[in-house]
Structure 1
């Protein structure tokens, strides 16, 4: 019995559901997604369930570089920062984990958990960052998200530094970033919606863009002239060009840009990767 058979045997309810819901003669992922979408149209599964199932399948195809927070957008701490400086940074950012560097951003010495600062409240003079930072985890840009998710689960780490082929820091990725590919955006009480960046530049000339980005913002950022007469958002324009809601992994070319769908739940596009065609 191979590993996949063991997984199915361990989850008989899932096997039974699949056999009763979809045509088990499908031979590839594309046909499976088509069957799942038909099941949603027939009201067998909800649109939310469809979106998550498509997200699960997409995790097998995406790489870390597709979802990582780029180096330029990381809030680093420094080994020689004082307790009060670190505390100010942590309170302003509202994150729970921070990479700690030495002299430059390629020298990640460890990860600081904000909760570990509590032990020094009222005893700031005894603060020594070396006593509380934890060993960093490193992953390559090319690592598949399903592998990364397993790594997070087995190591119980929630954050990993992303390195390029020269072992330089290119970004970071969290378990939340991976889970958002399945369930959609996860907002918590620390998220400031007004400050959320719609357009994130990657180090290799690509851009990760929220599909809800207003076309006026897109045009201003890229100094281009996407049409504004029919749609207000980038996702709406891409769907109109494609003549459908594109699936995750599909690419649409429009006005000297290539748009690769990173996340779509069958009802709308959520996240896209953008490249200028003249730079390909």
Structure 2
């Protein structure tokens, strides 16, 4: 995937006298999707490639409050436990505080270290400082297409994002960039419930719009055949596609729609895409439902409405 994206990005950056402008081509892509010539997924991918150059790193990074990092004085045993718990392959290492990132720890380096020192049981107590690698640092204002090219050139899959004062703003991975083009990339460690998180209000949920429409319908017990309305065919794959289908234009923050007994309010829009919504479920008399799945509220307040 990254090779295909790199080819498209290089083509996009070639400065020649155009027979058609970038804006005209983007318009044709939008029209193609509206007329049914382009499937939603192809439309999203093509639009995503064009938008890479207009997107900066801070828009795609994982914020420092949500990133997983390891103290420099951690042992191999500590790191192995955290890797197993979080299902990650890399994580930043910091000295004292997160603003002082000293490197990146790779899971495969831990495995190589364990194999090399298997004859000595004390390897579990070895410091991660022995095997961490140098980190790549980038400003949060850097265009994503430039970062993508640099990461490929330097064979890096993770970079530490710095704010204007040199502090740690977050972390960005190659997967974060590719997801801007192809949508959510899920692996065996990803939990579908992460896309639906309860707020502090009864029967109210914070939802990532990249969630597959089948998972959304299953959670709220909505018949998939009825969500498009007026017996129309379901020609979208995500909750974001459902919202665009009903609103008929680029949604704005605060826009609302009702699907069955689920009231959806747009919470976050970025670059013409709906990112997050708040969904409230009402009983027939307008009161909150009582028998919805009860998900655990995540720590550090991540489920509360910003």
The alignment's TM-score, normalised by the length of structure 2, stands at 0.61
User: Is this contact kept in 1: 2:139–2:163, CA < 8 A?
Assistant: yes
CA distance in 2 between counterparts of 1:32 and 1:273 reads: 30
Partner of residue 60, structure 1: 53
RMSD (Å), alpha carbons:
3.5
CA distance in 2 between counterparts of 1:257 and 1:55 reads: 21
After superposition, the Cα gap between the structure-2 partners of 1:194 and 1:41, relative to the gap in structure 1 and judged at 3 Å, is closer
1:104 and 2:100 are equivalent in the alignment: no
User: Is this contact kept in 1: 2:52–2:144, CA < 8 A?
Assistant: yes
Partner of residue 120, structure 1: 114
CA distance in 2 between counterparts of 1:68 and 1:273 reads: 19
User: Is this contact kept in 2: 1:149–1:175, CA < 8 A?
Assistant: yes
Partner of residue 166, structure 1: 165
My pick for the range that moved more, 165-174 or 128-137, is 128-137
CA positional deviation for 1:209? 6.6
CA distance in 1 between counterparts of 2:272 and 2:107 reads: 31
Q: Deviations over 1:8-35 (max 9, x none)?
A: 6xx9xxxxxxxxxxxx854342x21221
Structure 1: segments with no counterpart, 5+ residues: 1-6, 12-23, 200-207, 214-229, 275-280
User: Is this contact kept in 2: 1:83–1:124, CA < 8 A?
Assistant: no
CA distance in 2 between counterparts of 1:134 and 1:243 reads: 48
Partner of residue 33, structure 1: 26
CA positional deviation for 1:38? 3.4
Partner of residue 156, structure 1: 155
CA distance in 2 between counterparts of 1:87 and 1:189 reads: 18
User: Is this contact kept in 1: 2:161–2:169, CA < 8 A?
Assistant: yes
CA positional deviation for 1:43? 6.1
After superposition, the Cα gap between the structure-2 partners of 1:25 and 1:144, relative to the gap in structure 1 and judged at 3 Å, is same
Structure showing the higher helix proportion among its residues: 1
**Partner SS for 1:72:** coil
Partner of residue 225, structure 1: none
Matches within 5 A, 1:185-264: 185-196=184-195, 210-211=208-209, 235=240, 239=244, 243-244=248-249, 246=250, 252=253, 254=255, 259-262=268-271, 264=273
After superposition, the Cα gap between the structure-2 partners of 1:132 and 1:263, relative to the gap in structure 1 and judged at 3 Å, is farther
User: Is this contact kept in 2: 1:139–1:163, CA < 8 A?
Assistant: yes
Which has the higher relative contact order, 1 or 2, with Cα contacts under 8 A spaced 6 or more apart?
1
Aligned length: 220
